[in-house]
Amino acid sequence: MNAAQHDSKLRLIFDLMYTFFKMGLFTFGGGYAMLPLLQREVVERKGWATEEQLLDYYAIGQSTPGIIAVNTATFVGYFQAGFLGGIMATIGLVLPSIIIILLIATILRQFTDAAVLQHAFGGIRVAVSALVTFSVYRLAKAGIADRLALVWAVVCFAAIAFFKVSALWVVLASFLLGNLVQWGRERRA
Amino acid sequence: MSTYLLVILEFFKTGLFAIGGGLATIPFLREMAERYPWFSLEDLLDMIAVSESTPGPMGINMATYAGYNAGGILGGVIATLSLITPSIFVIVIIASFMKRFKESVVIQRGFYLLRAATAGLIAGAVFDVVVLSLFNVDVYRASRRLLDFFNWPALLMFALLVFLIRKFPKVHPIAFIGASAVMGVVFKL
């Protein structure tokens, strides 16, 4: 690699990091909330991926370990500028979160005893309960394919809520059992 | 074992086994709340609220917050870096044989139950925190009067919120969280 190529690669990596930093800074919620911004920045403005590629990254990001937005950033960065590109795009994405959350957490800790804050969080907990309940409902509607899957979802719920089974075992068991059941069904068909 | 080492291990594990994005990290955070003195189950709801109301992917925000509670600013930084490390490696590996992964039968079969499990897992992880925020479990244990069991203002608010969230899915969660904070102060929740 000559000096000029080296220079342009460095610039590309910096651009990746900066672009994903902006995305981390301007989206709330991650996951699908980030898709419109990714389409504008990564597909339309930078041309780092096509629309179809981006949706592929998303689909794979959902079915692989970790945060979907992180997985997408790693994909784009890796395909543009290799391993280092993947790492730097991802670091850029999470940097705003780290800075903002640490600031807020430090400030909140100073006021934990304030009565107003206590009541405010009392209300906020109800809102989070409602939001999470609704998210679970949507996940269940989209993710439960048939009656057996419904039974399995209930089993997983009970395992976590009442029997304190580690989520790790539930994930592994789901993967293995899913393979077993589907394999059996395909053989019978 | 030093706290930092535990933070690294726990968040690496979360990054490796939380499949399906930010919400999927909640069961793992819950396990940390039970196993370590880092944060309580109620803190977990507050962390979810702050993470949904600030920029950046929710899973990253929650990891930074949880890490901060465990080990201060350094704890927040290493928790987040540990969470994204498995993702980066997994995605880089997948990127090199992308087509085969997308068409892999094993992955598709596994996801038949994994998708169902995700809903059950998250519901199980938040179940008793939601119960705590909507019902006066402690007051009821002391008085044994059924009417004491219900936290009426919280339950009414919960019902109203679920209705509104269903009716207006486009409204950002931050609006519901902000309104509920005000209600919490007004009704001294």
Interface ipTM = 0.85
Query: Are B188 and B169 part of one and the same domain?
Result: yes
| Chain A, window 95-154: residues with a beta carbon less than 8 angstroms from a chain B beta carbon | 96-98, 100-102, 104-106, 108, 116, 119-136, 139-140, 142-145, 149-150, 152-154
Q: Which residues pair with B55 in a beta bridge?
A: A28
Q: Which residues pair with B116 in a beta bridge?
A: none
| Chain A residues inside the 8 Å CB shell of B32 | none
pLDDT of A28 over the 90 cut = no
pLDDT of B26 over the 90 cut = yes
Query: Are B120 and B77 part of one and the same domain?
Result: yes
Query: Are B150 and B118 part of one and the same domain?
Result: no
User: Most A CBs within 10 Å: which of B50, B112, B174, as the mutation test of the A interface?
Assistant: B112
Residue type for position B143: S
| Chain A residues inside the 8 Å CB shell of B171 | none
Write down the number of H helices and E strands in chain B.
10, 1
Q: Residue B81: its pLDDT value, please?
A: 97
pTM: 0.85
How many structural domains comprise chain B? 2
Average pLDDT of span B17-22 = 84
Query: Are B47 and B69 part of one and the same domain?
Result: yes
- Residue B110 has φ and ψ, to the nearest 5°, of -60, -35
Task: Give the rounded percent of residues in chain B with a pLDDT score beyond 90.
Answer: 49
Which of B126, B144, B176 is where one domain is finished? B126
Are the CB atoms for B55 and A97 separated by under 8 Å? yes
Asked which of A10-14, A135-139, B47-51, B76-80 is least confident by mean pLDDT, the reply is A135-139
pLDDT of B182 over the 90 cut = yes
Query: Are B97 and B29 part of one and the same domain?
Result: yes
Query: Are B95 and B146 part of one and the same domain?
Result: no
- Looking at per-residue confidence, does A126 or B141 come out higher? A126
Which of B74, B98, B126 is where one domain is finished? B126
Query: Are B57 and B114 part of one and the same domain?
Result: yes
Query: Are B164 and B187 part of one and the same domain?
Result: yes
Structural domain for B14, as ranges: 3-126
In tens, the pLDDT along B32-75 reads 999 999 999 888 988 998 998 888 899 999 999 999 999 999 99
Task: Say how many C-beta atoms besides its own lie within 10 A of residue B139's C-beta.
Answer: 14
**CA-to-CA distance for A100 and B48, rounded, in angstroms?**
14
Strands (DSSP E) contained in chain A are 28-29
Is the CB of A130 less than 8 angstroms away from the CB of B158?
yes
| Chain B residues inside the 8 Å CB shell of A37 | none
Query: Are B68 and B154 part of one and the same domain?
Result: no
Q: Residue A104: its pLDDT value, please?
A: 94
Query: Are B122 and B154 part of one and the same domain?
Result: no
In tens, the pLDDT along A67-104 reads 888 999 999 999 999 999 999 999 999 999 999 999 99
Which of B126, B147, B181 is where one domain is finished? B126
Q: What is the count of residue pairs from A and B with beta carbons less than 8 Å apart?
A: 379
**CA-to-CA distance for B186 and B178, rounded, in angstroms?**
13
**CA-to-CA distance for A128 and A108, rounded, in angstroms?**
18
- CA dist list (Å): A7 to A12, A56, A121, B35, B97: 9, 30, 50, 49, 29
Query: Are B70 and B120 part of one and the same domain?
Result: yes
Query: Are B104 and B144 part of one and the same domain?
Result: no
A167/B contact by beta carbon, under 8 A = yes
Task: Say how many C-beta atoms besides its own lie within 10 A of residue A51's C-beta.
Answer: 11
